[in-house]
Amino acid sequence: MSQDTVTMDKIVALTKRRGFIFPTGEIYGGLGSTYDFAHYGVLLKTNVKNAWWQTLLQERDDVVALDSAILQHPRTWEASGHLAGFTDPLVQCLGECKRRFRADHLEPGTAVCPVCGGELSAPRDFNLMFETTMGAVQESGNKVYLRPETAQGIFVNFKNVLQTARKKPPFGIAQVGKSFRNEITPGNFVFRTREFEQMEMEFFVPPAEALQWYDYWKQARFQWYVDLGLRPDHLQLREHDADELSHYSSGTADVEYLFPIGWSELEGIANRGTFDLTQHAQFSGEKLDYFDPNTGARYTPAVIEPAAGADRATLAFLVDAYDEEVIGDDTRVVLRLHPRLAPVKVAVLPLVRKDGQPELGREIVAKLRKRGLQVEYDEGGSIGKRYRRQDEIGTPFAVTIDHQTLEDQTVTVRDRDSLEQIRVAIDALPDHLVTKLSAEWRSPKLDA
Ligand code: ATP
Does ligand 1 lie within 6 Å of residue 315's CB atom? Answer: no
**pLDDT given for residue 447 in this prediction:** 40
Q: In terms of domains, do 215 and 282 share one?
A: yes
Does residue 383 lie within any of the structural domains?
yes
Does residue 1 lie within any of the structural domains?
no
pLDDT tens for each residue of 292-321 = 999 999 999 999 999 999 999 999 999 999
Does ligand 1 lie within 6 Å of residue 177's CB atom? Answer: no
Does residue 236 lie within any of the structural domains?
yes
- pLDDT exceeds 80 at position 448: no
Ligand 1: which atom is nearest the Cα of residue 194? 27
- Counting the structural domains of the chain, the total is 3
Cα–Cα distance measured from residue 13 to residue 404, given in angstroms and rounded to the nearest whole number: 38
Does residue 329 lie within any of the structural domains?
no
Q: Would you mind telling me the total number of residues written for the chain in this entry? A: 448
Q: In terms of domains, do 33 and 106 share one?
A: no
**pLDDT given for residue 1 in this prediction:** 46
**pLDDT given for residue 245 in this prediction:** 82
Place 362 in a pLDDT band, splitting at 50, 70 and 90: very high
**pLDDT given for residue 317 in this prediction:** 98
Q: In terms of domains, do 250 and 204 share one?
A: yes
Q: In terms of domains, do 180 and 111 share one?
A: no
- 109 Cα: distance to centroid of ligand 1 (angstroms): 25
Does ligand 1 lie within 6 Å of residue 209's CB atom? Answer: no
Q: In terms of domains, do 295 and 356 share one?
A: no
Does ligand 1 lie within 6 Å of residue 183's CB atom? Answer: yes
Pocket test for ligand 1, best of 82, 312, 319 (most atoms within 8 A of CB): 312
Does ligand 1 lie within 6 Å of residue 82's CB atom? Answer: no
Does residue 277 lie within any of the structural domains?
yes
Does ligand 1 lie within 6 Å of residue 52's CB atom? Answer: no
72 residue type, one letter: Q
Does ligand 1 lie within 6 Å of residue 147's CB atom? Answer: no
Q: In terms of domains, do 151 and 252 share one?
A: yes
Does ligand 1 lie within 6 Å of residue 308's CB atom? Answer: yes
Last residue within a domain, chosen from 301, 318, 335? 318
Residues 403-411, mean pLDDT to the nearest whole number:
96
Q: Which of 35, 77, 44 is nearest to 186 (CA)?
A: 35
Most confident segment among 1-5, 249-253, 379-383: 379-383
Cα–Cα distance measured from residue 3 to residue 308, given in angstroms and rounded to the nearest whole number: 23
Residues 411-425, mean pLDDT to the nearest whole number:
97
Residues 181, 80, 132: CA angle, nearest 5 degrees: 45
Does ligand 1 lie within 6 Å of residue 156's CB atom? Answer: no
- 309 Cα: distance to centroid of ligand 1 (angstroms): 6
- pLDDT exceeds 80 at position 113: yes
**pLDDT given for residue 312 in this prediction:** 98
Q: Among 70-74, 173-177, 257-261, 326-330, whose mean pLDDT is lowest?
A: 326-330
**CA 60 to chain CA mean position, Å:** 20
Are the CB atoms for 297 and 329 separated by under 8 Å?
Answer: no
- pLDDT exceeds 70 at position 445: no
pLDDT tens for each residue of 92-102 = 999 999 999 99
- Closest Cα to atom 21 of ligand 1: 309
pLDDT tens for each residue of 121-135 = 999 999 999 999 998
* DSSP one-letter code for 301: P
Element containing residue 335 per DSSP (H, E): strand 330-335
Does ligand 1 lie within 6 Å of residue 37's CB atom? Answer: no
- pLDDT exceeds 60 at position 341: yes
29 residue type, one letter: G
**pLDDT given for residue 139 in this prediction:** 65
- 197 Cα: distance to centroid of ligand 1 (angstroms): 10
Does ligand 1 lie within 6 Å of residue 265's CB atom? Answer: yes
Element containing residue 46 per DSSP (H, E): helix 39-53
Sign of the Cα torsion 224, 228, 233, 234 reads negative
- pLDDT exceeds 90 at position 117: yes
Does residue 370 lie within any of the structural domains?
yes
Place 140 in a pLDDT band, splitting at 50, 70 and 90: low
- pLDDT exceeds 80 at position 443: no
DSSP string, 58-123: IS-SSEEE----SB--HHHHHHHTHHHH-EEEEEEB-SSS--EEEGGGSPTT--B-TTT--BBPPP
Does residue 2 lie within any of the structural domains?
no
Does ligand 1 lie within 6 Å of residue 197's CB atom? Answer: no
Residues 380-401, mean pLDDT to the nearest whole number:
97
CATH number at residue 368: 3.40.50.800
pLDDT tens for each residue of 252-285 = 999 999 999 999 999 999 999 999 999 999 999 9
Question: How much is the mean pLDDT over the chain?
Answer: 94
Q: In terms of domains, do 382 and 250 share one?
A: no
- Closest Cα to atom 23 of ligand 1: 309
- pLDDT exceeds 80 at position 114: yes
- Closest Cα to atom 27 of ligand 1: 192
Domain carrying residue 70 = 8-76+129-318
Q: In terms of domains, do 298 and 427 share one?
A: no
Taking every pair of Cα atoms in the chain, the longest distance, rounded to a whole number of angstroms, is 78
Cα–Cα distance measured from residue 339 to residue 437, given in angstroms and rounded to the nearest whole number: 7
Last residue within a domain, chosen from 127, 159, 187? 127
Residue 186 preceded by cis peptide, ω within 30: no
Q: In terms of domains, do 180 and 91 share one?
A: no
Residues 56-78, mean pLDDT to the nearest whole number:
97
- pLDDT exceeds 60 at position 335: yes
- Closest Cα to atom 26 of ligand 1: 192
pLDDT tens for each residue of 4-30 = 689 999 999 999 999 999 999 999 999
Residues 110-127, mean pLDDT to the nearest whole number:
92
Pocket test for ligand 1, best of 184, 196, 314 (most atoms within 8 A of CB): 196
Q: Going by DSSP bridges, is the β-strand pair 235-239/397-401 parallel, antiparallel, or unpaired? A: unpaired
Ligand 1: which atom is nearest the Cα of residue 200? 14
Pocket test for ligand 1, best of 265, 311, 314, 317 (most atoms within 8 A of CB): 265
Ligand 1: which atom is nearest the Cα of residue 181? 27
CA separation (Å) from 244 to 77, 207, 353? 22, 23, 61
Does ligand 1 lie within 6 Å of residue 309's CB atom? Answer: yes
DSSP string, 145-213: EB-S-SHHHHHTTHHHHHHHS---SSEEEEEEEEEE---SS-BTGGGB-SEEEEEEEEEEE-GGGHHHH
Does residue 336 lie within any of the structural domains?
no
- 176 Cα: distance to centroid of ligand 1 (angstroms): 14
Q: In terms of domains, do 226 and 353 share one?
A: no
Q: In terms of domains, do 283 and 348 share one?
A: no
